[in-house]
Structure 1
């Protein structure tokens, strides 16, 4: 069954990537195999910044992809504490902590993960603050809030770790910014470990999704041993067999 779901997810990803590339939607080149960096991402970030839930937020956790660069810049410019995951969560302290008080140029800092890798301190889950908004990168999403990432699974693991630590919960707003062509009017395959989004923001539309599935923590039975071994934060928390 898991193989069937993964295959169905990949079919959707391939279709959306092909559509976006055929329409030249990528503002930094072809998007195939990536979280699409779409034309209008800056406008979607501004629309997200106008939401009440965003305005109230003090702590934001965001994906590091180019499509959400302006979202991260908006967070820092507004004085919000920003967390980003270390690439592939390959260190025992798997998140970067970006303190807006220490950053003079939010746009430059937020444009890529390079600044964080060189300058931002790493932080463990145990030392993080509760997260008010989680920003996800998506390849496809539907109006029920089901989203597909690019298939690596790191976003689910990041949210699972934070949920296990009590840092995200029912009041955490989960959002994604996408191009309109990434919003599909169809059922999307999802698994038990997939959290849904509360809000979808495009350059021209804000879509409020029905309450559905919150992050549940790490579902160990769904993780391959190789993935656990590759991520120190998972190895440290793996239940004793």
Structure 2
């Protein structure tokens, strides 16, 4: 007997999700094309968090925020665009968590403690460096997170709605840490981006998405006002079959 839910409400949800996904992909293509055309990101940026020109300046602006100065524990994505952020965190003595790619191990985060590192911070804070030298930890081993810095493809200036590269792992990482009580509604979320990634328009937004509190470019710091609260944890109905199969911590 088939277990497929073909009720009107289920079909409506499916069509709605497809519409949002299509709208997000349209935004991504437009921003990726613009960054390449302007020379603001290297060729081949499509499909990735853009490694943008001016990422060091954006990271420097981020570190001027009071929320950054007060934070002792930072969770940051492993993309090249945010490497200056991760290096600055370690230089300032902050504890740094990075996600294991695709959350593919039972303990899905790397722990980088600047007091324990025996390699240069610029090496330790890369995705390959962390994989070689950093211990892996799970939520039970982690400290509460004071600030999250994420990568983005596009961000709405008005309300901080963020469009990522489409894999969904940033949403899952935050949802996982929220369920564990390590991220709360008071945890500040920021992103560093190129000015061309900051859009003066409404962006598509799904139930499992989070918005950012700050969008920081090389030129400005934008304090955003999200229209709704963040998800209180993992929305199981939003998970894809491959995520359930491939991410041990979800089982």
Tell me which interval the TM-score lies in, with the shorter structure as reference length: over 0.9
Aligned mate of 1:49, from 18, 40, 63? 63
Aligned mate of 2:215, from 200, 212, 221? 200
Give the aligned partner of residue 229 of structure 2: 213
The structural deviation recorded for 1:214 is 2.0
Partners in 2 of 1:216 and 1:7 — Cα distance? 25
Q: TM-score, normalised by structure 1?
A: 0.94
Give the aligned partner of residue 192 of structure 2: 177
Partners in 2 of 1:131 and 1:29 — Cα distance? 34
The structural deviation recorded for 1:187 is 0.7
Task: Work out the number of aligned pairs and report it.
Answer: 233
Residue 8, structure 1, aligned to residue 23, structure 2: yes
Residue 22, structure 1, aligned to residue 37, structure 2: yes
* Larger Rg, first or second structure (1 or 2): 2
Give the aligned partner of residue 94 of structure 2: 80
Aligned mate of 1:68, from 53, 60, 82? 82
Task: Show structure 2 runs of 5+ residues with no match.
Answer: 1-15
Deviations 1:119-157 (CA, angstroms, capped at 9, x unpaired): 100001111100000111000001110000000000000
Give the aligned partner of residue 138 of structure 1: 152
Give the aligned partner of residue 96 of structure 1: 110
Deviations 1:184-218 (CA, angstroms, capped at 9, x unpaired): 11110000111110001000100001143324210
Q: TM-score, normalised by structure 2?
A: 0.91
Residue 120, structure 1, aligned to residue 120, structure 2: no
The structural deviation recorded for 1:171 is 1.7
Task: Show structure 1 runs of 5+ residues with no match.
Answer: 236-241
